[in-house]
Structure 1
Amino acid sequence: MNSGIPAFANVEQLRKRAKDLLRASRSGDAAALARITAHRRQDRPQPLLSDAQLTLAREYGFPSWAQLRSYVERLAEHGPGLEHAYRDDPGYYEERADGLLASAEDGTPSAVAAFDRARAPVDRNGARLVLARQHGFRSWAGLRGHVRGLIAGGEPFARAYRAVEAQDVAGLGALVGRFPELVHARGTNGNDLLGMATATCDERLVQVLLDRGADPARANAHDWTALHQTAYSGQPHLARLLLATGAPIDVSARGDGGTPLVIALFWGHTEVAELLATAGVVPANLRAAAGLGRLDLLGELLAPDGTPTREAGAHRGFYRPHSGFPAWRPSDEPKEIRNEALTWAARNGRVEAVELLVRHGADVDADVYRGTALTWAAACGQALAAQGLLALGADPNRRGTFGGPGHGEGVTALHLAAQHGSVGVIEVLLRAGADPSIRDNLHGGDAASWAEEFGQQAARELLNT
Structure 2
Amino acid sequence: MPVRRLPDNPSIEWLRKQAKTLLRRDSAALVAEFHPRPPQTLTLSDAQLVIARMYGFASWPRLKAHLDTVARHSRSPHLVEPADDLPAEFLRLACLTYGADYPGRTGEADRLLARHPDLATANVFTMAATGSAGALTDALADALAADPGLARAQGGPFGWEPLLYLAYARLTAPGDPVAAARLLLRCGADPNAGFLWEGLTSPFTALTGVFGGGEGDQPAHPHGPALARLLLEAGADPNDSQTLYNRGLGGSFSDDVSHLEVLLEFGLGTGTGGPWHRRLGPTIQSPRQLMREELATAALRGGPRRARLLLAHGAEVDGRGEHPAYGGRTPYELALLNGHTEVAEVLAAAGASADLPELDAFVAACMRADAAAVAAFGPEVLARALAAFPGLINRAAGLGKTEAVRLLAGLGFDVDHRQGSTPLHDAAWNDDVDTVRALIELGADPATTDTRFQATALGWAEHGGRHRVAAVLREAAHRREPSSGSG
Structure-2-length-normalised TM-score: 0.47
- Specify the structure having the higher radius of gyration (Cα): 1
